[in-house]
A and B are shown apart, each in its own frame.
Chain A
């Protein structure tokens, strides 16, 4: 159909995407050589039309950078990003045959920011902010129709009474309310893909499913796809699960597990996915979940100096010697559609004969023997 992995039934396709940032200030005060943060390091991902893909990982794992790359606002330092088969950055640079102009790509790929406060103009009322996308997308609407549409959307996200909220300025809104305005603004652009970056995390727990249901209705009605980024597996599971979508788990710039949501959560293959599931609080007090962290380290290693081999080995409870030198690809076990970047997926990998790591540097044993190794910057210290 089309070249370089870009396909017409995917809204966006990412191939071997790398986003490497130069940084100078040392987070941990260690002087390393060239400080390059590999925020995204060799990720391939397709977002199909009319689908929901959730990306989950800890803060700093690169999920926001990957999301921004997918909607064409972050230029990758390697690999390619296609929108409906068109290379996004070739369109931007007017390179080769451009089938879809960059302007159109940008309108079709929208974002709801993590910090809506920063994205709303402080000098504009809600009404004013929300009129702008309607003017672009529905030039035929008159002022009254626009007002009605905006009021309808405000009510729908729980901002009652809507005429009161429509007159407010951002500083008169709570964080959650700003977030809702940002969602409405993106929705009114009628895009093909919305990057929702922690878009419901700021909302009250009781409002989250309402908001996610709203996104799902829209996806259904207009075929809008969502790239839903969250550190919260419950939210990701709710929205991607209802849409029969997929979930990708990220760790230190890499995708470590990806697959249909129910397969990944029903049978997590990667030890990191299991750690995230451990961290997801359960409302059922009858479920005895182990209190001890399955991680050997609490803190994420310094991303400027990620661990050798499997990047997760410094925290992985299953790590063996081979994990410190060799780095796993995404493997499928054949039984499911999910893939995980862990040697344990392969029955015949040398991992199984490799010696276990000694317990030094395990936060869990540190507590017991009161030795003095802290959990800081283990990656950097190696």
Chain B
């Protein structure tokens, strides 16, 4: 594989995914609904990429596109290239059904939103593991040993969990069993869409710590999708922010959190309840996110942006950095004004301490 010089920020070295100009649309009575609008994003091998955005911003569409699993009658267009550890790159979109089915789970596993109910209530948890192994022609006995290891690593008692029916487990146990199931075929990528949203914070935090350990031990690439920015703040290597069906910012997590470049990301950080942010300083984001059938022209954030001017109404800013070598970028015409004009509350507080 050739290593590319990063030219724009959506490109990384050694990508496991290269997503280019990928769109998802639905034909609706109200008009064509573009729920993912020509996005480009790479996922680096071995990283944890956190994808954050408000409800309805297109996060789940991005996740499903990675697996060509967008629900009917959604239309996916664009190019998504998957680079497995060994072997030829694979064009995900337009792959024959049996091939994409093989890649899902074996190479790209997923834990999707609402997946807690994806266990079949009439089968034991163990039977789910056995079925997954045999459907993918893996030796069941060795696979079950691996399942037991994974369950122990997730602080579950293997014999007990495998013998239980899903309803006999608490939500947190079920979720960990599901993560083990997703990993039993030893995939290279794990795509998680709001995997912990139904759990309380203590369990979420425990699971996040476990995911971190597992990712490090197994060179797993993780795409972690959530609306809850603080949740991924500690987990992700890089953060990508979706607003109105487009990525508006991407960069190393630390830099995005401490020096967000897009007005929306900054507003999001200032509006997020956080124990250390003074309560009086928190600001909700004015206005509402756009409807996919009527996304504003130009920069789609302009109706809510305090910096918006004529140019923002007319020109859609690209997602790129001033300096091509910079791996942190935002889709905004006025990145250089943001720091002054939209202060980050938490950073201000730190500065004055």
Contacts and interface: CB of A to CB of B under 8 A. Distances in A.
* A, B in one complex: yes
Given A205-B228, A285-B253, A279 B204 contact: yes
Interface in B298-349: 346
A208 interface: yes
B288 A285 contact: no
A175 B55 CA distance: 9
Interface residues of B, number: 59
Contacts, number: 172
B161 interface: yes
B274 A279 contact: no
A255 interface: no
Interface in B186-242: 199-206, 209, 212, 227-231, 233-234
A298 B168 contact: no
A242 B278 CA distance: 10
A128 B168 CA distance: 40
Interface string A65-105: 00000000000000000000000000000000000000000
Contact of B273 (A235, A298, A377): A235
B209 A293 contact: yes
Contacts of B350: 284, 286
Contacts of B155: 298-299, 363, 366-367, 374-375
A308 B182 CA distance: 37
Interface residues of A, number: 63
Contact of A242 (B54, B160, B164, B279): B279
B276 A284 contact: yes
Contacts of B285: 206
B257 interface: yes
A28 B227 contact: no
Contacts of B272: 205-206, 283
Interface in B255-303: 257-258, 267-269, 271-277, 279-280, 282-285, 287-288
B279 A283 contact: no
A28 B209 contact: no
Nearest to B344: A283
Interface string A155-169: 000111000000000
Closest 8 CB pairs of A and B: A374-B157, A231-B200, A281-B230, A279-B205, A210-B284, A234-B273, A376-B157, A279-B202
27 contacts: A26-B168, A58-B203, A160-B287, A160-B288, A175-B55, A205-B268, A209-B282, A209-B284, A238-B279, A275-B202, A279-B201, A279-B204, A280-B205, A280-B275, A281-B201, A281-B233, A281-B234, A282-B275, A284-B276, A284-B350, A285-B253, A293-B206, A295-B206, A298-B203, A366-B155, A374-B161, A376-B160
Interface of A: 26-29, 58-60, 158-160, 174-176, 204-210, 212-213, 231-235, 237-238, 241-242, 265, 275-287, 289, 291-293, 295, 298-300, 363, 366-367, 370, 372-377
Given A213-B284, A234-B230, 9 more contacts: A28-B160, A59-B200, A205-B272, A233-B201, A283-B277, A286-B258, A292-B209, A366-B152, A374-B155
